[in-house]
Structure 1
Amino acid sequence: MNPGSPDRDQISERRGFVLALASAAAFGTNIVSAQIAGQAGLSGPLLVFYRVFLMLVLVGGAALFWRGSLALRRGERQPVLLFGLATALVGIAYLSSVAFVPVSVAAVVFYTFPILIVLAEPVLTPAPFRADRLAVALAAFLGIALVVGPDLHGLDPRGLALAMLASLSAAAQFFAAARCAETPTLPKLFWSHVVILPVAALVLLATGGFLPPQTFLLAPIAVAITYGGYVVGFLFQILALARIAPGPAGLAFCAEPVFAVIIAAVVLTERLGPLQYAGCALVIAAIATNVILEQTRRSTVPA
């Protein structure tokens, strides 16, 4: 089989889709455990700062162990820098938005990013506009709205603007990741977090929430799951975005809130209502439909 053949590309895309779903599951687990850690008094910015620091230590250790290079070629620096900045803005804007609007509202606004990706893909990439993909993205968004069940009372424009900034940043993150798809994983992980670390530190200092690492003993299991979910989720996200285009990847990540509510129902014994079950089913159906559409397009493209 020749490199770059349709069969090889299709296998790579399937692996990318599976990695994207695995990343969504890990991030969904991360959300639930972070909620438990927050109830123990550990703030979001504090968790973000230390998880970035942890990622840098792990990646640096892996590079030493495997004798891997962390160097970036000249043409790779700008895309990785943009990826790091977009990733930092996602976390900061999303965490900041919930200070002004309910978490459910912030989540619904944030998950407009798959729709933004589908709309921007024909402009920023050679991919043509696909009305069926937009329809699937809208269906997935409706499902997420049902799953999260937004509380529309007492909305603050500042919170809505921050959640929208997080959505725009997430879309930018996916396109930036596609631009540095050929960059090796270790330097991509390392330098993107080098960019994120000072931003996370500034936010932590601004919120006055700095606490020593031993504070994590307040909820050691929740912190361990939070950090494990982040490390696995971010790693799988990078691996996925190196294999599939931003459009299909964004739709796969619509599964994240579904995983989060299901895990919360099991771990925190939270009861789901009929609309939440319907929303979960709609998101799953939308993702499955997108997979079928992608496979159909593949089978009709001449070899």
Structure 2
Amino acid sequence: MDGSPASDSQGRERQGLALAFASAAAFGTNIVSAQIAGHAGLSGPLLVFYRVLIMLGLVALAALLMRAPLGLSRNERRSVLLFGIATALVGTAYLSSVSYVPVSVAAVIFYTFPVVIVLAEPLLTPAPFRADRLAVALLAFVGIALVVGPDWHGLDPRGLALAALASLSAAVQFFAAAGCARIATVPKLFWSHVVILPVTLVILAVTRGVLPPSAFALAPVAIAITFGGYFIGFLLQILALARIAPGPAGLAFCAEPVFAVLIAALFLGERLGTLQYAGCGLVMAALATNVILEQYRRRPAVA
């Protein structure tokens, strides 16, 4: 590193991509454990509510110990409000969709969000449209479809609508996070979860899925992994989105279902078929191509 603004920017982007991949791995672990908890009778909205409640308590404690200021300006409040609402909808809609459609179908619909981000980025940010980035996003999407192997028979429209809502909310979440990039991590985490908590509570009340914490005894290990994966994944996501633009960040998160499938194969004994292995390879090839393209774009021109 030569200390120039260009090299500093490249360093931040490399850090951002690394953090995004680590976040995808944590969320991938979270998906597998949440599915186990669901089989034990613990609903998606219930998991979302309690993990947000615990996260809010942990962040408040960290702010107290670190004596971190939590104040936000008026413009920052709007950005955090939008980010919090979008985040709440992502978690509740995605985890609720699997009550009506297979996980594989929900995942394929949900992971259209990187394509949505790439298409919307030129409209919502100064970034120009990049055909190569769209091609990479579509390649990754095909790979994800092969990895999860969706079964499209007998689908409930409610599940399809919830998965689509989660996808659109994820796209909004990434753009909103970019608008919060300059806000310090602790107040951003604290106030976003202040927004998320009542939204998830309302959804939980509407679905009549309120259960006391003692219900976690039905699947204690899965709950611990689910909450831990969320805490780590969300923190790393916040850090990543403060360093890289929505387009490359969204593509990096295409690795999440690959991590989830591989974790399920390693720890749950789920067998992978040839198409799933091919899909994993396709997603990783798309992600590697995206990293190479991003580095190439940042390379200084030679006079």
- TM exceeding 0.5: yes
* More displaced stretch, 279-288 vs 215-224: 215-224
For 1:205-249, what per-residue CA distance to the aligned partner results, in whole angstroms no more than 9, with x for missing partners? 122221111221222211111111000000000000000000000
Map 1:121-160; keep pairs closer than 5 Å. Answer: 121-160=121-160
Counterpart for residue 62 of structure 1: 62
Map 1:155-170; keep pairs closer than 5 Å. Answer: 155-170=155-170
Supply the distance in 2 between the matched residues of 1:198 and 1:283 (Cα, whole angstroms).
36
The change in CA–CA distance for 1:27 and 1:62 in structure 2 (over 3 A counts) is: same
Counterpart for residue 103 of structure 1: 103
Counterpart for residue 51 of structure 2: 51
Supply the distance in 2 between the matched residues of 1:66 and 1:213 (Cα, whole angstroms).
29
1:91 aligned partner, one-letter code: G
The change in CA–CA distance for 1:302 and 1:204 in structure 2 (over 3 A counts) is: farther
Supply the distance in 2 between the matched residues of 1:162 and 1:49 (Cα, whole angstroms).
17
Counterpart for residue 34 of structure 1: 34
Supply the distance in 2 between the matched residues of 1:286 and 1:32 (Cα, whole angstroms).
23
| Residue ranges of structure 1 left out of the alignment (5+ in a row) | none
| Deviation of the 1:301 alpha carbon | 4.6
Counterpart for residue 213 of structure 1: 213
Question: TM-score, length-normalised on structure 1?
Answer: 0.97
1:126 alignment partner, SS class: coil
The answer to whether the 8 Å contact 2:44/2:92 transfers is no
* More displaced stretch, 239-248 vs 153-162: 153-162
Percent of residue pairs identical: 75
| Deviation of the 1:157 alpha carbon | 2.8
1:270 aligned partner, one-letter code: E
| Deviation of the 1:202 alpha carbon | 1.3
The change in CA–CA distance for 1:301 and 1:206 in structure 2 (over 3 A counts) is: farther
Counterpart for residue 191 of structure 2: 191
For 1:180-203, what per-residue CA distance to the aligned partner results, in whole angstroms no more than 9, with x for missing partners? 100011111111111111111112
Map 1:272-283; keep pairs closer than 5 Å. Answer: 272-283=272-283
Counterpart for residue 113 of structure 2: 113
Q: Does 1:259 align with 2:259?
A: yes
Counterpart for residue 91 of structure 1: 91
The answer to whether the 8 Å contact 2:44/2:96 transfers is no
Supply the distance in 1 between the matched residues of 2:124 and 2:71 (Cα, whole angstroms).
27
1:144 alignment partner, SS class: helix
Supply the distance in 2 between the matched residues of 1:2 and 1:77 (Cα, whole angstroms).
36
Question: TM-score, length-normalised on structure 2?
Answer: 0.97
Supply the distance in 2 between the matched residues of 1:229 and 1:203 (Cα, whole angstroms).
22
Counterpart for residue 80 of structure 2: 80
The change in CA–CA distance for 1:292 and 1:211 in structure 2 (over 3 A counts) is: same
Supply the distance in 2 between the matched residues of 1:253 and 1:180 (Cα, whole angstroms).
19
Aligned residues: 303
The change in CA–CA distance for 1:2 and 1:81 in structure 2 (over 3 A counts) is: farther
2:299 alignment partner, SS class: helix
